[in-house]
Amino acid sequence: MTGADPGLFGPESVTWQVHSDPVMWIAGVRALYLQALHPRAVRGVMQNSDFRRDAWGRLMRTASFVGTTTYGTTEAAERAGARVRKIHRMLTATDPDTGEHYGVDEPALLMWVHCAEIDSYLQVARRSGLRLTDAEADRYVAEHRVSARLVGLDTDAVPANRAEMAEYFEKVRPDLAAGPEARAVDDFLLRPPAHPLLVPAREVLWRRVAHLAYATLPPYAHELYGRPAPDPATVTRQLRLAGLLLRRIPTRVRWQLPPKHILRAMARLGPDARPAPYKLGR
């Protein structure tokens, strides 16, 4: 639709295509596992919210933020970013060992959350069979300097390609540990609260998702959590199978789920804005 606002990324971006893929839910759980390994960052979450009671709400809020910033108008994305920054400015955490009080909007903490999320989305998407060239993978990382700005980061300090992202993770590894907060996140993700009638489904479906998301973590994360690292080739096969099954769910079914970010974007921009895997890997 001529003159319509494409938002911060737009239909020609790598982000527009990647974020429409259903494996993003697996990637989101991987991001939680990875983010929990930074003691200062995860402490900010645990001390400012009842994670165990509201983990589903937190996951859905994150998904809504990603959907809004990816497919929403520029105004909607900027408004979502301003809301996140305002909340972060008001929150502090306390180091139980030193008594230090610190803000959860410290750049180092925001950077960790951002990089863990973007790396998780990219790693899971590629290993699950979504065709992304190396150049497109680098573009994806670079595009998300925009989302980093929304949460309060200086874009010049944010990794702009996969090599810079790898350097960042190598640099931050000495700060990582599986402390009590990470153990609590791990326990929740394996055994989230559920209505008694839904416990069988949790055991059959959710635990498989959680185990697969955990399996996709880098080797150092498995070492910190203290569970054996699974065979990478086996994990890739499992991810590809999961991707194949999830992608067989018709988009008209998947995209009908609230809040329908993609359908609203297509209504705003026209049918050519439709995200599609064939637009990647060319």
* pLDDT 10s digits, 207-251: 889 999 999 999 999 999 999 889 999 999 999 999 999 999 999
190 band by pLDDT with thresholds 50, 70 and 90 = confident
195 band by pLDDT with thresholds 50, 70 and 90 = low
98 band by pLDDT with thresholds 50, 70 and 90 = very high
Provide the whole-model pTM: 0.93
Q: Where are the alpha helices (DSSP H) in the chain?
A: 14-18, 24-35, 39-48, 51-71, 74-90, 107-127, 134-143, 145-150, 162-172, 180-190, 199-201, 207-215, 219-225, 232-247, 251-254, 261-269
54 band by pLDDT with thresholds 50, 70 and 90 = low
pLDDT digits (tens, 9 = 90+) for 148-180: 999 999 999 999 999 999 999 999 999 999 999
In angstroms, rounded to a whole number, what is the distance separating the alpha carbons of residues 174 and 190? Answer: 26
Tokens representing 99? 């008594």
Reply yes or no on whether the pLDDT at 197 is more than 80: no
pLDDT score, position 279: 86
pLDDT score, position 110: 98
Residue 61 near residue 108 (C-beta atoms within 8 A): no
Query: Cβ contacts of residue 12 below 8 Å, gap of 6+?
Result: none
Residue 142 CA, chain-centre distance (Å), reads 16
Reply yes or no on whether the pLDDT at 86 is more than 90: yes
pLDDT score, position 1: 54
Under DSSP, the state recorded for 228 is P
- What residue spans define the domains of the chain? 14-273
Percent of the chain past pLDDT 70, that is, above it, reads: 93
- Tokens 């909340």 correspond to what residue? 87
Output 278 or 221, whichever has higher pLDDT: 221
pLDDT score, position 189: 87
